[in-house]
Structure 1
Amino acid sequence: MKTALKERYPYYLANRPVAANEDLEVTDKYSGKVVTRVALADADVIEKAIEAAVEATEPMRKLAPFERKEVLLHCVKRFEERAEELADVLRIEAGKPIKDSRGEVTRLIETFQIAAEEAVRDHQGEVLNLEISERSKGYRGMYKRVPIGPCSFISPFNFPLNLTAHKVAPAIAAGCPFVLKPASRTPLGALMIGEILAETDLPKGAFSILPCSRDGADLFTEDERLKLLSFTGSPDVGWKLKSKAGKKKVVLELGGNAACIIDKGADLEDAVSRVVTGAFYQSGQSCISVQRLLVHEEEREAFVSKLLSATKQLKSGDPADEDVFVGPMIAESEAERLENWIQKAKEAGGKILCGGGRDGAVVEPTLMTNVPKDQPLQAEEAFGPVVVIDTFSDFDEALRETNDSRYGIHAGVFTPSLDHAMKAWDELEVGGVLINEMPSWRVDNLPYGGVKDSGLGREGLRYAIEDMTEIRTLVIRSA
């Protein structure tokens, strides 16, 4: 289907749509044309949203678990009914190929479904044995989890539906009001979630979804009435926001340059299939896309030959085309930046095996070798469809190379060896190790996040709910 976008979209202030202006232009990322306009919040509106969230703290806390579940299940039903519309809007505003857009809508639905189940699960507390010595005889202890209070969310452009869902859904399940700043380049998905939330009986002020200028991030960060900040985006911005966050809890899901190891004896056909997907889906614009590839020297020739063949078969272009796998990057300026990194790597001695070209915002799927370690394609987050291939002779060497990064979210290891699999889990400095799978694989109830410059804390519904709640202990002394 081809979606007819509205001429303008409101922001949501205290659960209600407000068509205050048309200040934010949203473009079709493939054509570059302005396709709609969105209301942009200013500092006064953000202040009103925070005030409303504070006022909604008690009503949200008092929502029974089954009532929170009902809100989340309403969203599931409406997302299912509007699935193709949501996918096509995502295709337009993010440039995501339509097949991948449908996949993200599926994950949006699953994320809200899991949150609905977590909302009524009995992992919210525990009975404690306090009689550990004579002095505590006759004492009983227990604790429960209570909502932390108003939360502040800042979501990124690359997964406008699902990464927004990973903040919004656990907040509702936990009983926390929130204010959300969606990415200015892709605000429509979050606003459509707001449109559906507005159909529910959530207390007034339970949510506000406010596209705003980059300066608005400071207001979402510094206000002490907000008890938690959850940010997904670039490391430089994330750590800067943390430094300004004051006393509030901070969860950061930041960048990466994920490595994938192809060990001796790995199933090469399977590994190639997974690596191609992990490297080039979403045009490489994922913090866990395959960027660094470490191949055992005895497998290199066969593996690279198969990888080249598979990469060259990928179709690039218009994301509305059902056969397109690699669509545009989020902006032509980002494509130009990546093209420059590729050329710099080539000038430093790197060899382009395939790709390297650019047509507007579309960068060809690119494989390179011999790229020096100090080049951005090795040391930084490329966030585009480029893979750098290196060789190793010893598995310990591959582990050291993987760890030689300031980032650490996921790493993939294709190996037939259980010993190597377990050693990778022990030694790799990352948030998650995936055996015989690409690092970009994720299921939405998994604890997800990184170490080092890649972030702080974990997403995944149960783990996000834990961050959005606090432990309150009860001690009873027997008479």
Structure 2
Amino acid sequence: MIKGLFINGKEVESANTYAVIQSHTEEEIAQVADATEEEMQEAIDRAHEAFRKMKALTSNKRAEILYKAADLLEEEKEEFARVIALEACKPITAARSEVDRSVQTLRFSGEEAKHIAGEYIPLDAAKGGEGRDAYTIHEPIGVIGAITPFNFPLNLVVHKVGPALASGNTIIVKPAEQTPLSSLKLAGLFTKAGLPDGAFNVVPGEGPKLGKVMLEDSRIQKISFTGSPQVGKLIKSQAGLKRVTLELGSNSALYVDNSASDSLQKIAGKAVTGAFIYNGQVCISTQRIYVHEGMFEAFKQAFVEKTNELAFGDPLDDETMVTSLINKKSQERILSWIDEAVENGATLLTGGERKANGILPTVLTGIQSSDKVSCREIFGPVVILQPVQNHEEALQLMNESDFGLNAGVFTNNLQQALKIAHSLDVGQVLVNDVPTTRFDHMPYGGVKDSGYGHEGIKYAIKEMTRLKMISLNYCCF
């Protein structure tokens, strides 16, 4: 299969291609366009031209297109899920869930398209403002450049495309090199839904080369990036006056308090899912778990038992929970981090072994705070367990991180829950949920090295529009 670029409402051939490989079987899935700088420039040209049409569409029409796209995606759920499972090496059950979430995200976008509203401003509140009415409106900003990661190749694209189109902008997606097929397929679906040609373009290829074109072209009004802190900082340094949203790394922490001991088994099960779903290759994967010392041993035993029940296998098998990682480079990096922790005195409770191109679910305890598995984003099937004396110690350890995206706490003590929630230096706190929890309409953004700006449809739209005030002088002029 050969896939081209998607520009101006249709797929077009590219002079160069590269192979997309399924990491579990190491088989080639497709040859995909490896775009040049000139082809990215062509996409920007077409998106800029299409902006006039998009801006002129009524909010009702934009909503209708988004609803139609959601319906079409739902109809093709199994086909999209299979594409995700192949290109991202994601277990098919998780791939189906991603499609369901993407349908929901598009529908949220359609709803929000109808609710982009300003406010009335009483200018007569100021001296000399008599005889004037004023109000604000939110206008689309133009062409948006989106750079997306491999781990959610459909829903994280939709989280940028949906708000952009809902607010009347046009968009160019530069998907992750490993996972371009979902976004190319999605773009074709939007054409069927009636989106104006050029409003949604997909340009696969090398990130640094194509991202540079986006950053240097003044017609790109905003860059929305999801990826590593290193690349995010580089984009920020080169963006100039462009708007930028950065959703970067994390090493999400969870605290389990003694007051929740009656629910130990249930909490352990949720925490195992939060740590190992999609091999831990999730921005908000549960990486650090701090447990009150009064229930640590019991929790540790339950957690390890449930971890060992997880099925490792082919991503297309419905029974598979854990499979190969996105590439061998990730496998080698993660194994080296596990070895480092063990050499520094950590205890390996289970896992730590390579299997196919993945790693068996790994649980460590007795780690040092300076170990990479603790202080960096591991982005793999590894979790650390650590006992703490009380919630104050847990809070201190949870905040000892360069990241600040999500955090979770299980407790039946309301006062404690509120104190922790207000004191955690993160963007989202989940009480009685694992930090690997996201609903697609909630605000979602981090602090520190986790980036800034927000996704979540309503909140992303605010960052994709500009505020304009209009004053009417009805008294004298």
Aligned to 2:120: 127
- CA deviations on 1:387-432 (whole Å, 9 max, x unpaired) are 0111111212111111100000000100001111111221000000
- Rounded to whole Å, the distance in 1 between the matches of 2:239 and 2:317 is 43
Aligned to 1:431: 427
Aligned to 2:245: 251
- Rounded to whole Å, the distance in 1 between the matches of 2:302 and 2:85 is 30
Q: Secondary structure of the residue that 1:56 maps to in structure 2? A: helix
Aligned to 2:145: 152
Match of 1:274 among 264, 270, 276: 270
How many residue pairs match? The answer is 472
46-55 or 290-299: which moved more?
46-55
Match of 1:352 among 348, 351, 354: 348
Q: Cα distance, 1:304 vs. partner?
A: 0.6
Quick check: 1:335–1:363 contact (8 Å CA) kept in 2? yes
Aligned to 1:367: 363
Quick check: 1:157–1:186 contact (8 Å CA) kept in 2? yes
Q: Secondary structure of the residue that 2:305 maps to in structure 1? A: helix
- CA deviations on 1:341-367 (whole Å, 9 max, x unpaired) are 000110011110010001232111000
Aligned to 2:50: 56
Quick check: 1:57–1:177 contact (8 Å CA) kept in 2? yes
Q: Cα distance, 1:230 vs. partner?
A: 0.0
Match of 2:227 among 229, 233, 246: 233
Structure 1 counterpart of 2:27, one-letter code = K
1:387 aligns with 2:383: yes
Structure 2 counterpart of 1:155, one-letter code = T
Q: Cα distance, 1:204 vs. partner?
A: 2.9
- Rounded to whole Å, the distance in 1 between the matches of 2:128 and 2:372 is 61
Structure 2 counterpart of 1:325, one-letter code = M
Aligned to 1:113: 107
- Rounded to whole Å, the distance in 1 between the matches of 2:296 and 2:313 is 30
Structure 2 counterpart of 1:380, one-letter code = R
Give TM-score, length-normalised by structure 2: 0.97
Quick check: 1:235–1:455 contact (8 Å CA) kept in 2? yes
Aligned to 1:320: 316
Aligned to 2:459: 463
Quick check: 1:335–1:360 contact (8 Å CA) kept in 2? no
- CA deviations on 1:114-173 (whole Å, 9 max, x unpaired) are 10111112x421112223243323332210100011110000000000000000111110
- Rounded to whole Å, the distance in 1 between the matches of 2:69 and 2:17 is 28
Structure 2 counterpart of 1:241, one-letter code = I
Q: Secondary structure of the residue that 2:244 maps to in structure 1? A: strand
Aligned to 1:196: 189
344-353 or 137-146: which moved more?
137-146
- Rounded to whole Å, the distance in 2 between the matches of 1:309 and 1:70 is 48
Aligned to 2:133: 140
Quick check: 1:263–1:395 contact (8 Å CA) kept in 2? yes
Aligned to 2:97: 103
- Rounded to whole Å, the distance in 1 between the matches of 2:427 and 2:123 is 34
Q: Secondary structure of the residue that 1:136 maps to in structure 2? A: coil
Quick check: 1:224–1:246 contact (8 Å CA) kept in 2? no
Give the % identical residues: 39
Aligned to 1:339: 335
Structure 2 counterpart of 1:60, one-letter code = M
Quick check: 1:73–1:113 contact (8 Å CA) kept in 2? yes
1:407 aligns with 2:403: yes
Q: Cα distance, 1:51 vs. partner?
A: 1.4
Structure 1 counterpart of 2:454, one-letter code = R
Q: Secondary structure of the residue that 1:145 maps to in structure 2? A: strand
- Rounded to whole Å, the distance in 2 between the matches of 1:50 and 1:395 is 51
Aligned to 1:286: 282
Which runs of structure 2 are paired with 1:293-312 in the superposition (5 Å)? 293-312=289-308
- Rounded to whole Å, the distance in 2 between the matches of 1:118 and 1:435 is 27
- Rounded to whole Å, the distance in 2 between the matches of 1:197 and 1:57 is 16
Structure 2 counterpart of 1:344, one-letter code = E
Aligned to 2:171: 178
- Rounded to whole Å, the distance in 2 between the matches of 1:232 and 1:146 is 24
Structure 1 counterpart of 2:383, one-letter code = V
RMSD, aligned α-carbons? 1.1
- CA deviations on 1:66-97 (whole Å, 9 max, x unpaired) are 11112111211111111001111111111111
Aligned to 2:473: 477
Aligned to 1:68: 62
Quick check: 2:284–2:406 contact (8 Å CA) kept in 1? yes
- Rounded to whole Å, the distance in 1 between the matches of 2:133 and 2:29 is 62
Match of 1:40 among 34, 38, 46: 34
- CA deviations on 1:184-214 (whole Å, 9 max, x unpaired) are 1011100110111122433332121000212
- Rounded to whole Å, the distance in 2 between the matches of 1:439 and 1:216 is 33
132-141 or 275-284: which moved more?
132-141
Q: Secondary structure of the residue that 1:371 maps to in structure 2? A: coil
- Rounded to whole Å, the distance in 1 between the matches of 2:103 and 2:220 is 27
Give TM-score, length-normalised by structure 1: 0.97
Q: Cα distance, 1:107 vs. partner?
A: 0.5
Q: Secondary structure of the residue that 2:87 maps to in structure 1? A: helix
Structure 1 counterpart of 2:100, one-letter code = T
- Rounded to whole Å, the distance in 2 between the matches of 1:405 and 1:112 is 34
Q: Secondary structure of the residue that 1:251 maps to in structure 2? A: strand
Q: Cα distance, 1:22 vs. partner?
A: 5.6
Aligned to 1:4: none
Quick check: 1:22–1:39 contact (8 Å CA) kept in 2? yes
Quick check: 2:191–2:197 contact (8 Å CA) kept in 1? no
Aligned to 1:80: 74
Q: Cα distance, 1:269 vs. partner?
A: 1.8
Structure 2 counterpart of 1:211, one-letter code = P
Quick check: 2:16–2:35 contact (8 Å CA) kept in 1? no
- Rounded to whole Å, the distance in 2 between the matches of 1:22 and 1:191 is 16
Q: Secondary structure of the residue that 1:439 maps to in structure 2? A: coil
Q: Cα distance, 1:21 vs. partner?
A: 4.1
Q: Cα distance, 1:376 vs. partner?
A: 0.8
Match of 1:28 among 15, 22, 32: 22
- Rounded to whole Å, the distance in 2 between the matches of 1:68 and 1:40 is 31
- CA deviations on 1:305-357 (whole Å, 9 max, x unpaired) are 11011011111121111111111110011011101100011001111001000
